[in-house]
Structure 1
Amino acid sequence: MDGVLSALIAITGTLLGSSVTHVFQRRASAHDQIFAAQQQLRSDRMAVYSDFAGALTEFRRGQQDRWHRKNEDPDGSAFSEARTEAYRLRGIALHALFRVQLIASAHTLIDTAQRAYALTSDLHKASDKTELSALGAQARETLEQFIKIASSDVQ
Protein backbone atom coordinates (compact mmCIF):
# COMPACT_ATOMS: atom_id res chain seq x y z
CA MET A 1 0.00 0.00 0.00
CA ASP A 2 2.83 2.37 0.84
CA GLY A 3 4.35 1.58 -2.56
CA VAL A 4 1.15 2.47 -4.42
CA LEU A 5 0.77 5.73 -2.51
CA SER A 6 4.39 6.64 -3.20
CA ALA A 7 3.89 5.89 -6.90
CA LEU A 8 0.72 8.04 -7.03
CA ILE A 9 2.52 10.92 -5.31
CA ALA A 10 5.43 10.59 -7.74
CA ILE A 11 3.13 10.51 -10.78
CA THR A 12 1.10 13.48 -9.48
CA GLY A 13 4.30 15.44 -8.79
CA THR A 14 5.62 14.69 -12.26
CA LEU A 15 2.37 15.72 -13.93
CA LEU A 16 2.14 18.87 -11.82
CA GLY A 17 5.76 19.78 -12.58
CA SER A 18 5.22 19.16 -16.28
CA SER A 19 2.06 21.29 -16.29
CA VAL A 20 3.75 24.17 -14.45
CA THR A 21 6.72 24.03 -16.82
CA HIS A 22 4.37 24.12 -19.80
CA VAL A 23 2.53 27.17 -18.45
CA PHE A 24 5.79 29.04 -17.80
CA GLN A 25 7.11 28.15 -21.26
CA ARG A 26 3.92 29.43 -22.91
CA ARG A 27 4.15 32.68 -20.96
CA ALA A 28 7.80 33.08 -21.88
CA SER A 29 7.03 32.34 -25.52
CA ALA A 30 4.18 34.85 -25.56
CA HIS A 31 6.43 37.45 -23.92
CA ASP A 32 9.13 36.79 -26.52
CA GLN A 33 6.61 37.18 -29.36
CA ILE A 34 5.33 40.47 -27.96
CA PHE A 35 8.88 41.73 -27.50
CA ALA A 36 9.81 40.75 -31.08
CA ALA A 37 6.71 42.47 -32.45
CA GLN A 38 7.50 45.64 -30.48
CA GLN A 39 11.08 45.63 -31.74
CA GLN A 40 9.89 45.16 -35.34
CA LEU A 41 7.42 48.04 -34.98
CA ARG A 42 10.13 50.23 -33.49
CA SER A 43 12.46 49.39 -36.36
CA ASP A 44 9.73 50.02 -38.94
CA ARG A 45 8.85 53.36 -37.37
CA MET A 46 12.48 54.45 -37.33
CA ALA A 47 12.81 53.62 -41.02
CA VAL A 48 9.54 55.33 -41.98
CA TYR A 49 10.21 58.48 -39.95
CA SER A 50 13.76 58.72 -41.22
CA ASP A 51 12.62 58.21 -44.82
CA PHE A 52 10.01 60.95 -44.40
CA ALA A 53 12.57 63.41 -43.02
CA GLY A 54 14.93 62.65 -45.89
CA ALA A 55 12.21 62.90 -48.55
CA LEU A 56 10.92 66.18 -47.13
CA THR A 57 14.43 67.63 -46.97
CA GLU A 58 14.97 66.76 -50.63
CA PHE A 59 11.54 68.13 -51.52
CA ARG A 60 12.36 71.40 -49.76
CA ARG A 61 15.63 71.63 -51.72
CA GLY A 62 13.74 70.93 -54.95
CA GLN A 63 11.14 73.58 -54.18
CA GLN A 64 13.82 76.17 -53.47
CA ASP A 65 15.63 75.27 -56.69
CA ARG A 66 12.35 75.58 -58.56
CA TRP A 67 11.80 79.06 -57.09
CA HIS A 68 15.32 80.21 -58.01
CA ARG A 69 15.12 78.84 -61.58
CA LYS A 70 11.74 80.56 -62.07
CA ASN A 71 13.13 83.89 -60.90
CA GLU A 72 16.16 83.55 -63.16
CA ASP A 73 14.20 82.70 -66.32
CA PRO A 74 10.53 81.72 -66.08
CA ASP A 75 10.49 80.56 -69.71
CA GLY A 76 13.79 78.72 -69.60
CA SER A 77 14.46 75.01 -69.76
CA ALA A 78 16.20 75.11 -66.36
CA PHE A 79 12.95 76.21 -64.73
CA SER A 80 10.98 73.53 -66.57
CA GLU A 81 13.43 70.86 -65.42
CA ALA A 82 13.42 72.18 -61.84
CA ARG A 83 9.62 72.17 -61.79
CA THR A 84 9.52 68.60 -63.10
CA GLU A 85 12.06 67.54 -60.46
CA ALA A 86 10.04 69.30 -57.75
CA TYR A 87 6.94 67.36 -58.84
CA ARG A 88 8.88 64.11 -58.67
CA LEU A 89 10.19 64.96 -55.20
CA ARG A 90 6.68 65.95 -54.11
CA GLY A 91 5.44 62.48 -55.04
CA ILE A 92 8.21 60.84 -53.03
CA ALA A 93 7.51 63.08 -50.03
CA LEU A 94 3.77 62.43 -50.25
CA HIS A 95 4.39 58.69 -50.35
CA ALA A 96 6.60 59.02 -47.26
CA LEU A 97 3.85 61.05 -45.55
CA PHE A 98 1.33 58.29 -46.25
CA ARG A 99 3.67 55.78 -44.66
CA VAL A 100 3.94 58.00 -41.57
CA GLN A 101 0.14 58.18 -41.39
CA LEU A 102 -0.07 54.39 -41.52
CA ILE A 103 2.46 53.63 -38.78
CA ALA A 104 2.41 56.57 -36.37
CA SER A 105 0.83 56.07 -32.98
CA ALA A 106 0.14 59.72 -32.15
CA HIS A 107 -2.09 62.20 -33.95
CA THR A 108 0.28 65.03 -33.05
CA LEU A 109 3.01 63.24 -35.00
CA ILE A 110 0.77 62.91 -38.06
CA ASP A 111 -0.40 66.52 -37.78
CA THR A 112 3.17 67.77 -37.55
CA ALA A 113 4.20 65.67 -40.56
CA GLN A 114 1.27 67.04 -42.57
CA ARG A 115 2.12 70.61 -41.55
CA ALA A 116 5.77 70.14 -42.57
CA TYR A 117 4.68 68.72 -45.93
CA ALA A 118 2.22 71.59 -46.53
CA LEU A 119 4.80 74.24 -45.66
CA THR A 120 7.30 72.64 -47.99
CA SER A 121 4.71 72.39 -50.76
CA ASP A 122 4.11 76.15 -50.62
CA LEU A 123 7.76 77.22 -50.83
CA HIS A 124 7.66 77.86 -54.57
CA LYS A 125 4.88 80.44 -54.04
CA ALA A 126 7.16 82.85 -52.15
CA SER A 127 7.07 86.38 -53.54
CA ASP A 128 10.72 87.21 -52.85
CA LYS A 129 13.95 85.76 -51.52
CA THR A 130 13.24 86.92 -47.96
CA GLU A 131 9.88 85.18 -47.90
CA LEU A 132 11.44 82.06 -49.45
CA SER A 133 14.04 82.00 -46.71
CA ALA A 134 11.44 82.52 -43.97
CA LEU A 135 9.14 79.83 -45.36
CA GLY A 136 12.08 77.46 -45.75
CA ALA A 137 13.11 78.05 -42.16
CA GLN A 138 9.56 77.47 -40.97
CA ALA A 139 9.33 74.21 -42.94
CA ARG A 140 12.68 73.07 -41.53
CA GLU A 141 11.66 73.93 -37.96
CA THR A 142 8.40 72.02 -38.35
CA LEU A 143 10.34 69.02 -39.66
CA GLU A 144 12.61 69.28 -36.61
CA GLN A 145 9.49 69.26 -34.40
CA PHE A 146 8.36 66.13 -36.25
CA ILE A 147 11.72 64.46 -35.54
CA LYS A 148 11.49 65.41 -31.86
CA ILE A 149 8.01 63.91 -31.54
CA ALA A 150 8.97 60.87 -33.61
CA SER A 151 11.96 60.14 -31.40
CA SER A 152 9.63 59.61 -28.46
CA ASP A 153 7.49 57.29 -30.60
CA VAL A 154 10.43 54.95 -31.22
CA GLN A 155 11.69 54.76 -27.63
Structure 2
Amino acid sequence: MNAILTSLIAVLGTLLGSTATHVFQQRTARRAEHLARQERLRRERLDAYSGYAGLLVLFRQAMLHHWFCVHEDTDAEEEVALRQRSFEIRSQAQHALFQVQLITDDGPLADVAAEAFRQVGKIDRARDRKDVTERRDLTQVLINDFVNVARQYVGSTP
Protein backbone atom coordinates (compact mmCIF):
# COMPACT_ATOMS: atom_id res chain seq x y z
CA MET A 1 0.00 0.00 0.00
CA ASN A 2 2.86 2.29 0.86
CA ALA A 3 4.39 1.78 -2.60
CA ILE A 4 1.12 2.63 -4.31
CA LEU A 5 0.77 5.83 -2.30
CA THR A 6 4.35 6.80 -3.11
CA SER A 7 3.78 6.12 -6.80
CA LEU A 8 0.53 8.11 -6.76
CA ILE A 9 2.24 11.08 -5.12
CA ALA A 10 5.06 10.88 -7.68
CA VAL A 11 2.59 10.85 -10.59
CA LEU A 12 0.59 13.75 -9.13
CA GLY A 13 3.80 15.71 -8.52
CA THR A 14 4.92 15.10 -12.08
CA LEU A 15 1.51 16.19 -13.44
CA LEU A 16 1.51 19.29 -11.24
CA GLY A 17 5.05 20.18 -12.34
CA SER A 18 4.18 19.69 -16.01
CA THR A 19 1.05 21.82 -15.64
CA ALA A 20 2.94 24.61 -13.88
CA THR A 21 5.67 24.53 -16.53
CA HIS A 22 3.07 24.70 -19.30
CA VAL A 23 1.30 27.67 -17.68
CA PHE A 24 4.55 29.60 -17.22
CA GLN A 25 5.67 28.84 -20.79
CA GLN A 26 2.35 30.11 -22.14
CA ARG A 27 2.65 33.32 -20.13
CA THR A 28 6.22 33.82 -21.30
CA ALA A 29 5.24 33.18 -24.93
CA ARG A 30 2.31 35.62 -24.72
CA ARG A 31 4.50 38.27 -23.15
CA ALA A 32 7.21 37.79 -25.79
CA GLU A 33 4.58 38.00 -28.54
CA HIS A 34 3.13 41.17 -27.01
CA LEU A 35 6.58 42.78 -26.75
CA ALA A 36 7.39 41.81 -30.35
CA ARG A 37 4.10 43.33 -31.52
CA GLN A 38 4.78 46.52 -29.57
CA GLU A 39 8.30 46.79 -31.00
CA ARG A 40 7.00 46.20 -34.53
CA LEU A 41 4.41 48.96 -34.03
CA ARG A 42 7.08 51.28 -32.63
CA ARG A 43 9.26 50.70 -35.70
CA GLU A 44 6.33 51.17 -38.08
CA ARG A 45 5.49 54.43 -36.33
CA LEU A 46 9.10 55.55 -36.47
CA ASP A 47 9.19 54.86 -40.22
CA ALA A 48 5.84 56.54 -40.86
CA TYR A 49 6.50 59.59 -38.69
CA SER A 50 10.05 60.22 -39.88
CA GLY A 51 9.06 59.63 -43.51
CA TYR A 52 6.20 62.10 -43.17
CA ALA A 53 8.38 64.74 -41.51
CA GLY A 54 10.97 64.36 -44.28
CA LEU A 55 8.32 64.73 -46.97
CA LEU A 56 6.90 67.79 -45.22
CA VAL A 57 10.34 69.39 -45.38
CA LEU A 58 10.64 68.56 -49.09
CA PHE A 59 7.11 69.81 -49.76
CA ARG A 60 7.85 73.04 -47.89
CA GLN A 61 11.06 73.54 -49.83
CA ALA A 62 9.30 72.91 -53.15
CA MET A 63 6.53 75.38 -52.28
CA LEU A 64 9.08 78.02 -51.29
CA HIS A 65 11.05 77.49 -54.51
CA HIS A 66 7.86 77.75 -56.52
CA TRP A 67 6.82 80.96 -54.76
CA PHE A 68 10.20 82.59 -55.37
CA CYS A 69 10.16 81.45 -58.97
CA VAL A 70 6.71 83.00 -59.58
CA HIS A 71 7.39 86.23 -57.68
CA GLU A 72 10.90 86.92 -58.87
CA ASP A 73 10.23 86.70 -62.62
CA THR A 74 12.14 83.58 -63.52
CA ASP A 75 11.86 81.41 -66.60
CA ALA A 76 8.34 80.10 -67.35
CA GLU A 77 9.65 76.59 -68.03
CA GLU A 78 11.37 76.56 -64.66
CA GLU A 79 8.14 77.69 -63.02
CA VAL A 80 6.20 74.86 -64.65
CA ALA A 81 8.83 72.33 -63.56
CA LEU A 82 8.81 73.63 -59.97
CA ARG A 83 5.02 73.60 -59.85
CA GLN A 84 5.01 70.01 -61.12
CA ARG A 85 7.62 69.02 -58.52
CA SER A 86 5.60 70.63 -55.73
CA PHE A 87 2.48 68.72 -56.88
CA GLU A 88 4.38 65.43 -56.89
CA ILE A 89 5.88 65.99 -53.46
CA ARG A 90 2.49 67.16 -52.16
CA SER A 91 0.98 63.85 -53.28
CA GLN A 92 3.75 61.90 -51.58
CA ALA A 93 3.34 63.94 -48.40
CA GLN A 94 -0.42 63.43 -48.43
CA HIS A 95 0.09 59.69 -48.81
CA ALA A 96 2.48 59.77 -45.86
CA LEU A 97 -0.08 61.79 -43.87
CA PHE A 98 -2.64 59.05 -44.47
CA GLN A 99 -0.15 56.49 -43.16
CA VAL A 100 0.41 58.60 -40.04
CA GLN A 101 -3.33 58.90 -39.50
CA LEU A 102 -3.81 55.16 -39.91
CA ILE A 103 -0.98 54.08 -37.62
CA THR A 104 -1.66 56.45 -34.75
CA ASP A 105 -4.46 56.21 -32.24
CA ASP A 106 -3.80 59.69 -30.87
CA GLY A 107 -6.06 62.49 -32.14
CA PRO A 108 -3.70 65.37 -31.30
CA LEU A 109 -0.81 63.81 -33.22
CA ALA A 110 -2.98 63.33 -36.30
CA ASP A 111 -4.26 66.91 -35.89
CA VAL A 112 -0.74 68.36 -35.70
CA ALA A 113 0.27 66.32 -38.77
CA ALA A 114 -2.73 67.51 -40.79
CA GLU A 115 -2.27 71.16 -39.77
CA ALA A 116 1.38 71.09 -40.81
CA PHE A 117 0.36 69.68 -44.20
CA ARG A 118 -2.36 72.33 -44.66
CA GLN A 119 -0.07 75.21 -43.80
CA VAL A 120 2.77 74.01 -46.02
CA GLY A 121 0.24 73.79 -48.85
CA LYS A 122 -0.59 77.48 -48.35
CA ILE A 123 2.95 78.81 -48.75
CA ASP A 124 2.49 79.60 -52.43
CA ARG A 125 -0.47 81.87 -51.59
CA ALA A 126 1.77 84.39 -49.85
CA ARG A 127 1.28 87.95 -51.10
CA ASP A 128 4.78 89.26 -50.61
CA ARG A 129 8.20 88.41 -49.23
CA LYS A 130 7.20 89.27 -45.64
CA ASP A 131 4.17 86.98 -45.89
CA VAL A 132 6.18 84.12 -47.36
CA THR A 133 8.76 84.51 -44.58
CA GLU A 134 6.01 84.32 -41.94
CA ARG A 135 4.53 81.25 -43.60
CA ARG A 136 7.98 79.65 -43.87
CA ASP A 137 8.61 80.23 -40.17
CA LEU A 138 5.15 79.00 -39.16
CA THR A 139 5.54 75.78 -41.13
CA GLN A 140 8.95 75.14 -39.59
CA VAL A 141 7.36 75.45 -36.13
CA LEU A 142 4.53 73.11 -37.14
CA ILE A 143 6.92 70.50 -38.52
CA ASN A 144 8.97 70.70 -35.31
CA ASP A 145 5.75 70.38 -33.26
CA PHE A 146 4.82 67.24 -35.19
CA VAL A 147 8.26 65.73 -34.60
CA ASN A 148 8.13 66.56 -30.89
CA VAL A 149 4.68 65.01 -30.42
CA ALA A 150 5.63 61.97 -32.53
CA ARG A 151 8.78 61.46 -30.46
CA GLN A 152 6.57 60.41 -27.54
CA TYR A 153 5.46 57.36 -29.52
CA VAL A 154 8.83 56.17 -30.77
CA GLY A 155 11.26 57.31 -28.10
CA SER A 156 11.66 54.04 -26.27
CA THR A 157 10.90 50.39 -26.49
CA PRO A 158 7.69 49.47 -24.64
- By the TM > 0.5 criterion, same fold? yes
SS at match of 1:101: helix
Deviations 1:9-47 (A, max 9, x none): 000000000000000000000000000000000000001
Is 1:88 aligned to 2:74, yes or no?
no
Deviations 1:70-90 (A, max 9, x none): 113377111111101100010
SS at match of 1:95: helix
User: Match for residue 73 of structure 1?
Assistant: 73
User: Match for residue 151 of structure 1?
Assistant: 151
Name the CA distance, whole Å, in 1 between partners of 2:9 and 2:51: 62
User: Match for residue 16 of structure 1?
Assistant: 16
TM-score, with length taken from structure 1? 0.97
Identical pairs, percent = 34
User: Match for residue 127 of structure 1?
Assistant: 127
Letter in 2 for 1:65: H
User: Match for residue 49 of structure 1?
Assistant: 49
TM-score, with length taken from structure 2? 0.95
CA contact (8 A) 1:73 1:79 kept: no
Name the CA distance, whole Å, in 1 between partners of 2:40 and 2:52: 18
User: Match for residue 32 of structure 1?
Assistant: 32
User: Match for residue 97 of structure 1?
Assistant: 97
User: CA RMSD of the aligned region, Å?
Assistant: 1.0
Q: Which 10-residue stretch deviates more, 69-78 or 80-89? A: 69-78
Letter in 1 for 2:37: A
Letter in 1 for 2:27: R
Which contiguous aligned blocks of 4+ residues in structure 1 show a shift greater than 3 angstroms? none
1:129 deviates by 1.0
1:105 deviates by 2.2
Deviations 1:109-147 (A, max 9, x none): 000000000000000000011111110110110111111
Name the CA distance, whole Å, in 1 between partners of 2:8 and 2:98: 64
Report how many aligned residue pairs link the two structures.
155
Letter in 2 for 1:49: Y
Is 1:142 aligned to 2:142, yes or no?
yes
CA contact (8 A) 1:105 1:153 kept: no
Letter in 2 for 1:91: S
Give unmatched runs, 5+ long, in structure 2. none
